[in-house]
Amino acid sequence: MNLFRPSEYDFPNYREKSLFLMAFRLLWMFLIVFTLLALSFIHEEEPLTAYISGICVAVVSLLFLYVSKKTKPVFIFVGVAGILLAHITSNTLLATPHFADYIWMMVCTVIVFFSLGTRAGFLMVLANTIGIGYFIFFNMNEHLKLIKPQNVEESWALFAEMTVASFILGYVIYQFVKYQTHAEKRLTEANELLGEQNEVIRESDEEKTVLLKEIHHRVKNNLQIIVSLLRMQREELPTNDSKRYFNEAINRILTMSLIHQKMYQEKGLSQLDLKDYVEDLFNEISRMYSDAYEVNFKVNSELENIGLKTIVPFGLLLNELISNSYKHGFEMGTPCSIKIEIKNISNDRFGVMYSDNGTWKEQEMKSGFGLELIDTLTEQLDGSLEREIKSDGTHYHMELRNLDL
């Protein structure tokens, strides 16, 4: 490591480089200035002691910087030592003017603010305030009595010291402004780069959204083709029972087709409006029974949106429940009603109460593919189900898990 060519060192970032170069240059300035001042006052013991102390601080700090390459301990040492020397000098050398001492106090404070942060800087301001207050209340009157006129040599030395101290103060402020300008420039460049990356991501997201919508649209169309083929095949079946089974299969396919249709229409492709979907699902199913039944349908939902993982089994579950109400619960010529309530239970669980005003026949409640499918879909949703037959109709109470959470 070459202490005389610090710009060749490797620094982790621009701030570390700025602090190191500032410490390096300031310490050499201190060393040169205090050496010249010590030579100027070599025959005067009191100021000579202060300047030699400054030389020692600069030498020790340079050696530490050479060995460790760490700037923070150097700035702490220089700040504390500089403040102490300035206040000791102002309170002990009462026969000399202290204009330069107060500039050195400002220099040390600004250095600490820039290198160590605002907290350390304000501590330096507090220390300066205490030291200046001590001088004003305990030593200023004595200082005013003892101060003597300066000869030409002393005046030139004082002028030189104040000039150099002011120059160093300006240099530290310049470094701070330079660092702030660099930081703002880098921030502007980073924002511009981030804006470009965001634009690329936005365009990519739009492409993926269009592609995903197209996939949902094509899946829906393919399912509609399958439904059409099944309906054509249904017309060739000889018995009503066979046609009924085909209708049930068609309903289940339409349930999944409706999901993809809704996903295609939604702005957000990860969630769909649950209440809107349930209402459309009921309308699709009721078309198959519109000539025989007129059903009053109501749905209330605290769960506004639901994801694709959950809606597929949940939609099939509702399809079976609504279809069973039509097939096994309702009687032609009587008022019919279905009510569905969906409530939030916890973060990932929701409750469903399904009710109709029909009364199932006993044998139809014990077996059948539809009932088995209801139980299977409930298990798939990690849920529980209770079914009650009352005088006012059939009621299902379910607690299900939102698989998308």
| Cβ(295)–Cβ(330) below 8 Å | yes
b vs e for 138-173, b when ≥16 Cβ sit within 10 Å of the residue's Cβ?
eebeebeeeeeeeeeebeebbeebbebbeebbebbe
Quick one: which of 309, 308, 328 has its CA closest to 370? 328
Write the pLDDT tens digit of every residue in 261-297. 887 776 666 678 889 989 988 988 888 776 667 889 9
| Residue 157, H or E segment | helix 152-234
> What's the pLDDT band for 1 if we cut at 50, 70, 90?
very low
Half-sphere exposure of 158 (CA within 13 A, CB side): 14
Q: Cβ(75)–Cβ(24) under 8 Å? A: no
342 and 364 Cβ atoms separated by less than 8 Å: no
pLDDT at 299: 94
Query: What pLDDT, on the 0 to 100 scale, is given for residue 364?
Result: 53
pLDDT tens digits, residue range 330-380?
A: 887 788 899 999 999 988 999 999 999 887 765 555 557 778 888 899 999
- Give ∠ CA 244-246-249 in degrees, rounded to 5: 115
Report pLDDT for 267: 66
DSSP symbol at 96 = S
CA–CA gap between residue 358 and residue 356 (Å, rounded): 6
Tokens of 152: 């030409």
Residue 57 carries which side chain, given as an amino acid letter?
Answer: V
Residue 7 pLDDT more than 80?
no
CA distances for 347 relative to 272, 350, 384, 402, 405, angstroms: 18, 8, 17, 9, 8
Q: Which amino acid is at 117?
A: G
Q: Contacts by 279-283 with C-beta closer than 8 Å and gap 24+?
A: 281/255, 281/315, 281/318, 281/319, 281/322, 282/322, 282/338
Q: Give the pLDDT score at 339.
A: 95
- Two structure tokens written together for 371: 């009932």
**Does residue 212 have a pLDDT over 80?**
no
What's the pLDDT tens digit per position in 377-391? 999 999 999 988 888
C-alpha separations of 7 from 14, 19, 22, 29, 210 in Å = 12, 12, 11, 17, 53
What Cα–Cα distance (Å) separates residue 348 from each residue in 119, 283, 306, 311? 46, 28, 11, 14
The number of beta carbons lying within 10 Å of the beta carbon of residue 300 is: 12
Sheet order of strands, 336-344 included = 295-301, 336-344, 349-356, 393-401, 384-390
- Collect all residues with Cβ–Cβ distance below 8 Å to 298 and sequence separation of at least 6: 337, 338, 339, 340
Q: All domains of the chain, ordered by start, with CATH?
A: 6-148 (no CATH), 272-405 (3.30.565.10)
Higher pLDDT, 212 or 115: 115
CB 150 within 8 A of CB 100: no
Are 336 and 393 within 8 A, CB to CB? no
Amino acid letter, 155: S
Given this model, what pLDDT does residue 214 score?
A: 81
Helix locations, 117-151, DSSP H: 118-134, 140-146
